[in-house]
Amino acid sequence: MKANISRWIILLLALVCAVQAASAFEVIKGEITPGSASLEPGQEVTARYLISYKMATTGQKYMDDETFEFRTALQKPAWDFKIRREGHPDIVIPTRGGAYQTLLEFEIGYDGDVQLDVQLRGTVPKASSEEIEVVKIEHLRDKSVEDDYRMTRKVVSAEQVGTSLSVQQQNLKNLKADIDKKAADGVDVSEVQAKYDDASRALTSAASAAPSKAAEHIATATKSMDEAKALLDKAWTEKEVADTGAAIESLDGNINYFVENRSMGGDPRVVSIVTKRESAVQFYSQAKDGLNAKNYPLARSKADEGLKKANEALHDAEALRDEIGEGFSLGSLLPIVGIGVVIILVIVGVVIYRKRTRWDELG
């Protein structure tokens, strides 16, 4: 008994899934003219949608419980519908006007592979918001939405574009000032400059373009400036971390001098310098970790702390060198001493040779 109930439940679920799959629709093609990402108030718009669909009930099972509903925010809309069936002539539905349209099941409920060709013409309202719904398509069954499709576009006016252009032009100037400042500080800004140039060209194009096209150029410029800022942040951080590394390297040279050349490894003053060096290295390591993790503010903070410690140790090292003087280092004189010894040996050899030669002559 339980097995029979389970089979009935599975069968019912399968039927539900089959009905849902059968009643689905898909927009296989959606086009809009003009093709720009933004529209302008008063602009003429043409849109076309090719919809593949299957009704849940057709033919003898026809129930008149399914509809397709269409809606647009365009003004003075005109709708053209064609029903396309494989192996049959197109069924043309006369042009309809109005923002809302409904196609009933008895109009479009056909067996087999069926497509609905929808063409819409209209005008963007002059008093538009920032976004307009070009079309919304809903497939309803028993007054419940089974599937839906929506296409929107941004709407920009000349005034909006002018304001946005002014803001981004000022942002570009601010970016240039920041680039120049970082370049003067020794930061490599070559990649940043390339993005800046892209943004500058885009804003120049926007200044002479129609509102919808200008909006695209402004969006391109904004994206390039955002990328430039990110690259500048990275390059600045790399410079800060590298400066800390260079200071530690210079400090290591001083410590090596005290330990190797002056045998002062146990001197408390040298020990203090080494301790500060270890602290600087710890900050430097944290700075590199921050850089690798792209946490640039943290990396710069740690690099700054490391540089301060390294410079403090360098100051102590320079003061200690001044205090003890350079001292005498035989190691640096060894090459000169060696050459001198060779010359003396040569002279002595020549003198001895001459004396022996003279003795031989006197016999």
Residues 118 and 258 in one domain: no
* Residue finishing a domain among 155, 186, 201: 155
Residues 227 and 255 in one domain: yes
Residues 73 and 106 in one domain: yes
Give SS3 for 147.
Answer: strand
Q: What are the residues facing 79 on neighbouring strands?
A: 96, 120
Residues 125 and 72 in one domain: yes
* Residue finishing a domain among 136, 155, 174: 155
Radius of gyration of the chain (CA): 42
Give SS3 for 283.
Answer: helix
Residue 4 lies in a domain: no
Q: d(Cα 60, Cα 64) in Å, to the nearest integer?
A: 11
Residues 185 and 215 in one domain: yes
Per-residue pLDDT for 201 more than 90? yes
**Taking residues 21-27, what's their average pLDDT?**
67
Residue 351 lies in a domain: no
Residue 266 lies in a domain: yes
How many domains does the chain divide into? 2
Tens digits of per-residue pLDDT, 88-145? 899 999 999 999 999 988 888 887 789 999 999 999 998 766 899 999 999 998 888 8
Residues 211 and 283 in one domain: yes
Residue 282 lies in a domain: yes
Residues 121 and 191 in one domain: no
Domain that residue 290 falls in:
157-343
Residues 209 and 149 in one domain: no
Per-residue pLDDT for 353 more than 70? no
The region of weakest confidence among 120-134, 232-246, 342-356 is: 342-356
Question: Which stretch of DSSP H or E encloses residue 80?
Answer: strand 75-85
For residues 218, 220, 224, 230, the Cα torsion angle rounded to the nearest 10 degrees is 90
Residues 171 and 209 in one domain: yes
CATH number at residue 147: 2.60.40
53/57: higher pLDDT = 53
Q: d(Cα 119, Cα 107) in Å, to the nearest integer?
A: 17
287 close to 302: Cβ distance less than 8 angstroms: yes
Per-residue pLDDT for 202 more than 60? yes
User: Cα 149 vs. chain centroid, distance in angstroms?
Assistant: 30
Residues 185 and 334 in one domain: yes
Q: Please tell me the pTM assigned to this model.
A: 0.67
Residue 234 lies in a domain: yes
Per-residue pLDDT for 254 more than 70? yes
Residues 325 and 207 in one domain: yes
